[in-house]
A and B are shown apart, each in its own frame.
Chain A
Amino acid sequence: MLKVENISVNYGAIKALQNVSFQINQGEIVALIGANGAGKTTILNTISNIVPSVAGKITYLDKEITKLQPHEIVKLGISQVPEGRRVFAKMSVLENLEMGAYTRSDNEVASDMEKIFQRFPRLNERKKQPAKTLSGGEQQMLAMGRALMSRPKLLLLDEPSMGLAPMLVEQIFQIIQEINASGTTILLVEQNANMALSIAHRAYVLETGEVVLQGDAKELASNPEVRKAYLGE
């Protein structure tokens, strides 16, 4: 579905990604794990073309998207829940969801919003509130609901568990699996490698801008190197 080939990204003199290649098949949950500063967020932002690549090629559903504008990429069905949630703080919950549906002009936006409210009832109770008044967990739900409003075929999630209590992390991962089961392919970036590998089908391990390991999520989870570096053993 998505094919990333030999992507390199620089921030000024900093080489953030070097020759990164991976691919995602339709229907999968693919996890991307790695330490702080490994380049995980950069990969997602390069797919969305918020950050330009200096070399390499990204293909989505057999169409090259490397040079497309970010809004065109969203329109093709790739949507991102950015790191740190990034809800529009001064706008209401409802307006945040409307922004998620920005590319759409069909008449099912309202019913999709109802579905989001069923999935996240707390958002329904807080429809009119500015997003900055939500708790961290509620903001994460809003950020996910917002991204779903564009009806993505591929959802990019950047550390959805960041800063959440264990109970809530469980719940968020549960929801990620539900979203996947309803037909959305998922690329999941996580610090929480344990959780990520437990729900992913396949995974890639990133170290200082390069893919160093890849494979079946269960196999990676039992790989001694991975256990030592990312699962705290």
Chain B
Amino acid sequence: MFLQQLVNGVALGSVYALIALGYTMVYGIITLINFAHGEIFMAGAFVGLLLVATFKVNVFVAIIGAMVFCMLMGVVIELIAYRPLRKSSRLSALISAIGVSIFLSSLALMVFGADAKGFPDGAFPVKQIKVGSADISTLQLLIIGVSAALMMGLEFIVQKTKIGKAMRATSEDYNTSALMGINVNRVISFTFALGSALAAAGGVLVGVLFNAVSFNMGLMAGLKAFAAAVLGGIGSIPGAMLGGLLLGVSEVFGVAIGYSSYRDAIAFTILVLVLLVKPTGLLGQKITKKV
């Protein structure tokens, strides 16, 4: 029972973590809460669904396709909705982000209709594997495996590559990074591309897991992932991973011990409790002023 719920929680939490990473990376660099991030996740789910249903590709190819599509989408959104407002007040950029979010979910409603769409039968072969007392499905393994691989890939990029180091430098000190000859606009585009790709993968995985893709799926998932990012400490990459896992596991255990009608409230309750004790989040640091 315990092991079973733990696996369920980790699978759900991995997806929250994938989405939370996009919020935290973007915030880390331009101190903007990208409200449209949930809709990028939704778009990823639709692209994955279309690829599987129309082009009959397997789930892995669909994930890669959705990631590529959403990378471009994230870069374009930043270019037209945020970059022109870079020197304006924080509030203008935030309002622009909310606008993009509403625009994208309305667009999805127009194009795909209001009903949730399911993946075709056998899109991914689901088998149960017995481990001790728990039934672990191949679907959960897929989710945990893909998420873990993506997060390790991200960690490698951020720690070891030239552009990843430039991302860290830019999130520490924007102006000084420019003085190093770093093209900060390019770093920002790259950050949006990375975050959007992770959200897209999360979207396809969630679509397969719940067998439902709908125009408004980005809202709740986005809010919870945002809560996860804040819980872990907004701006901190390991924080987003930890926050996502914690929220996923608590949500599943909360439901298991009988609070299923409060399913969506659990994440926010935990968030409020942690912030009361540690306002910067679990792994967050004091937010330094960005000039």
Partner of A150, one of B173, B177, B178, B181: B181
Is B165 on the interface with A (CB-CB < 8 A)? yes
**Are B181 and A102 in contact, with the CB atoms below 8 A?**
yes
Q: Which residue of A lies closest to B288 (CB)?
A: A89
**Are A150 and B176 in contact, with the CB atoms below 8 A?**
no
CB proximity of B70 to chain A, nearest CB, Å:
27
- Please, how many angstroms separate the alpha-carbon atoms of A25 and B166 in the complex? 33
CB proximity of A101 to chain B, nearest CB, Å:
9
Is A119 on the interface with B (CB-CB < 8 A)? no
| Chain B interface extent, by class | 10 to 19
Partner of A99, one of B169, B175, B183, B184: B169
Count A-B pairs with CB separation below 8 Å.
Answer: 60
Q: Within 8 Å CB of A69, what residues of B? A: 178, 183
Q: Within 8 Å CB of A102, what residues of B? A: 162, 166, 180-182
Q: Contacts A71-B183, A86-B173, A90-B172 given: A50-B165 contact, CB under 8 Å? A: no
- Please, how many angstroms separate the alpha-carbon atoms of A82 and B291 in the complex? 13
- Please, how many angstroms separate the alpha-carbon atoms of A79 and B182 in the complex? 12
**Are A91 and B179 in contact, with the CB atoms below 8 A?**
no
Q: Which residues 86-136 of A sit at the B interface, judged by CB distance below 8 A?
A: 86, 88-91, 95, 98-100, 102-103
Is B168 on the interface with A (CB-CB < 8 A)? yes
Q: Interface size on A (CB < 8 Å)?
A: 23
Q: Which residues 161-201 of B sit at the A interface, judged by CB distance below 8 A?
A: 162, 165-166, 168-169, 172-173, 175-184
Is A75 on the interface with B (CB-CB < 8 A)? yes
**Residue among A50, A71, A74, A98 with most chain B CB within 10 A:** A71
**Are B179 and A70 in contact, with the CB atoms below 8 A?**
yes
Provide 21 A-B residue pairs closer than 8 Å at the C-beta atoms, listed in order of the A residue.
Answer: A50-B175, A50-B179, A71-B182, A71-B183, A71-B184, A74-B181, A75-B181, A79-B179, A82-B175, A88-B168, A88-B169, A89-B172, A90-B168, A91-B172, A95-B165, A98-B162, A99-B177, A100-B180, A102-B162, A102-B180, A150-B181
Interface residues in chain B, defined as those with a beta carbon under 8 Å from any beta carbon in chain A: 162, 165-166, 168-169, 172-173, 175-184
Question: What would 13 more interface pairs be, CB under 8 Å, given A102-B166, A146-B180?
Answer: A70-B178, A70-B181, A80-B179, A88-B169, A88-B176, A91-B165, A91-B169, A95-B165, A98-B165, A99-B166, A99-B177, A99-B180, A99-B182
